Structure 1
Amino acid sequence: MKNNPIIPYILIMAFGIGLIFFMSLNGAGKNKEEAQNGETGGATQEINGEAIVQKSCIGCHGGDLTGGMGPDLTKGLDAEHVKTVVMKGQGGMPAVVTNEAEAQAVADYISSLK
């Protein structure tokens, strides 16, 4: 090792690759465990439309959703129209969610605003 300075770098690289390999095995085992919990009736998570709106919509529609760069969302919009726009986008607005259940939760929340 005294004569060849590349050996420490090779050892560090081998240690890093081994570490990554063993950490990925641990992660793969946890994915299987989580999938089994989901199939056997693990805790179901309720989708919160208001939280999705607060995270994704206030940047363009304003903090109170009465309009900003985007239009006013507090005028009792049709839920089906909102669901379509949220999933596919419209004009300059990109799609916000791809999951239909999340889109329905957002549409229900927005259509309930007054």
Structure 2
Amino acid sequence: MKKWLLTLLFSTALVLGACGGDDGDTEESSDGGDSVDTAAAEEIYESNCTACHGADLSGGQGPDLTSVGADHSADEIADIIENGQGGMPPQDVSGEDLDTLSNWLADMQ
């Protein structure tokens, strides 16, 4: 009886541990900083950036952003979003949305 109960408890713990409860909406920043709310960042990107940079960040009218984090820090990306650069006009993204978007893009390497 004890062996059966121990097996049942172990199996339950194993199944629950495998589930993990992680929905994948946040991930750790590559620079060891704050975590990025991926779902929120993707929504902000979709609302403000996809027309020029494509739904998959691969570019189009604007440049490819799939590895923008390799060339620019989150602060540099935020500055570009706020003030524009080259043919890109300033965007109407600010506050927490700007931080979320720029940190998410900075993780693209």
The normalised TM-score by structure 1 is: 0.52
Given candidates 33, 36, 42, the residue that maps to 1:50 is 42
Q: Greater helix percent: which structure? A: 1
| 1:87 and 2:82 correspond | yes
- Runs (5+) with no aligned partner, structure 2: 1-36
Q: Which of 87, 93, 96 is the aligned partner of 2:91? A: 96
- Taking a change above 3 Å as real, the CA distance of residues 84 and 68 of structure 1, as seen in their structure-2 partners, is same
Structure 1: tracts of 5 or more residues without a match = 1-45
Matched positions, count: 69
What secondary structure sits across from 2:76 in the alignment? helix
- Root mean square deviation, CA, Å: 2.1
Give the C-alpha shift of residue 93 in structure 1.
1.0
The correspondence for 2:56, drawn from 64, 84, 96, is 64
